[in-house]
Amino acid sequence: MVSTCVDPLSHDLNFVLNNLQNNRDPFSRHVMVLQQNLQLMMTFLLSSRKWVYNDAYVESEDVKKVSLQFLLSNIEDTVNKYAVEIHFLFLRKESELVHFEGFVSALKPVVSSFQEYINSFKEEILNVGMTLLDSSFLQSSSCLRHDELVELIDSLLQNLVDLHSELHVWYMADHDFVPHAQVKLETLEDKLLFLKNLIHFPICEALNIVNWKTY
């Protein structure tokens, strides 16, 4: 699963981003966008995984039918490939004492290529989203386990954090839209946190009952 490599990849990108921002390097914007798109990709994978084995297909303009399982596997393979490549550059920097400027020069084409691959998946992801929103399709699918649902909620909450960080950029273009969007985001965040706590509550209570019965 792609989630196993996202955390170390995020750690590597955070290291790069912090150093770039300290030096006011414009490349920091590219790294930040990659992080945000990677997190959105993570949310998509988490929300789609329960349909992988349901023989789901999505329509595409170029290909009549695209297997959802094939699409998700392709995305995971791409993320894993670039995660390994970026981490290799990070380790080489540490072991060979490469200057940060040299490290960034080697990283730039990798980040650019990674972003291009992510962009290439966007149309198919939108098509998948439209398919998964079909009510008959949803009714035929099983529910996520509580741990899977909590993981998805955490990923969605991180998406909201990223959106909050982008609002100051959008504010320069639309002073009226941003305050309205801010309220919507905060409302959605509160609902997701409530849902997460609601999921945890009966589990904690059940554990308390089990522990009480053992004494």
Question: Could you give the percent of the chain with pLDDT greater than 70?
Answer: 69
CA dihedral 199, 202, 204, 210 (to 10 degrees): -150
Mean pLDDT of 170-174: 55
Q: Is the pLDDT of residue 43 over 60?
A: yes
**Max alpha carbon distance in the chain (Å)?**
64
Mean pLDDT of 45-60: 62
Confidence at residue 203, expressed as pLDDT on a 0 to 100 scale: 64
| Closest CA relative to residue 68, chosen from 56, 53, 80 | 56
Q: Which of 20-34, 170-184, 201-215 has the highest mean pLDDT?
A: 20-34
Mean pLDDT of 54-64: 49
Residues 124, 58: Cα–Cα separation, whole Å: 8
| Closest CA relative to residue 131, chosen from 208, 65, 210, 215 | 65
The pTM assigned to this predicted structure is 0.74
Three-class secondary structure of residue 59 per DSSP: strand
Question: Could you give the percent of the chain with pLDDT greater than 90?
Answer: 11
**What's the Rg (C-alpha) of the chain?**
20
Confidence at residue 6, expressed as pLDDT on a 0 to 100 scale: 73
Mean pLDDT of 133-150: 65
Residue recorded with tokens 């839209």:
177
Q: Is the pLDDT of residue 54 over 60?
A: no
Alpha-carbon distances, residue 131 vs 57, 68, 126, 146, 205 (angstroms):
8, 10, 9, 24, 37
Residues 8, 41: Cα–Cα separation, whole Å: 16
Residue 169 identity (one-letter amino acid): V
Confidence at residue 64, expressed as pLDDT on a 0 to 100 scale: 42
Mean pLDDT of 46-71: 61
Q: Is the pLDDT of residue 108 over 90?
A: yes
Mean pLDDT of 208-215: 54
More confident residue, 159 or 172: 159
| Closest CA relative to residue 40, chosen from 67, 66, 74, 6 | 6
Confidence of residue 206 (pLDDT cuts 50, 70, 90): low
